[in-house]
Structure 1
């Protein structure tokens, strides 16, 4: 095995692309102005507060639905169509709430960006 030479195997498309030599040189993006950086920090901080609120509400929704099942153990004994009501509560109460939380969070995050852009704090791109 010591005399065997390793061979690099590439796809024909890769060989063609390398033969063309049209490699783009990476261009560095310009550094933002201090005002743009400050505006970006403000947007990031506002979106972080929104995210923390959303995570808190997510915890309330998840632990609340599980807590409801724990508080009312009789939900396990009642069935609808052979399925315990406790499962139905977890499925049909929790997932729509999660979806609403996600939609609400995205809208609030976008509103924060729009408010900062409209206020002239965003950097005109």
Structure 2
């Protein structure tokens, strides 16, 4: 086995890409200016507050819907399409609310980023 030669195995796409020679050379990113770093910290803090608010609302929605089902045992006695209404509430009513919560979170996070980047718009 001393005469066995090691073979490098790559996918055909990798071999084609390597043969073309279009590999970018790694470039170091420039260090941000102190004002940019401070703006980034402010954006991060605003997005963190938004995330904490979203997580709190997520808890309210999930525990609230479960609590509502537990507090209203009559939902178990009512059935729609052969399923208890409590199951339908948990399975179908909460997801649109969660989707709306996610969309609002993304919108608020993007607004915070836009407000943070607006101060740097005139810079290089």
1:1-125 maps to which residues of 2 (within 5 A)? 1=1, 3-19=3-19, 21-118=21-118, 120-121=119-120, 124=123
Which sections of structure 2, spanning at least 5 residues, go unmatched?
Answer: none
Deviation, 1:115, is 1.8
CA contact (8 A) 1:39 1:122 kept: no
- Structure 1 pair 123–65 and aligned structure 2 pair: CA distance change class (3 A): farther
CA contact (8 A) 1:50 1:109 kept: yes
Separation in 2, partners of 1:98, 1:89? 13
Separation in 1, partners of 2:36, 2:56? 30
Deviation, 1:6, is 2.8
The TM-score with structure 1 as length reference comes to 0.83
The TM-score with structure 2 as length reference comes to 0.84
- Alpha-carbon RMSD: 2.3
Separation in 2, partners of 1:91, 1:24? 48
Separation in 2, partners of 1:40, 1:6? 48
Deviation, 1:36, is 0.2
Matched residue count: 124
Deviation, 1:123, is 7.7
Deviation, 1:17, is 4.3
User: Alpha-carbon deviations, 1:7-55, whole Å to 9, x = none?
Assistant: 2233455445445555432110100000000000000000000000000
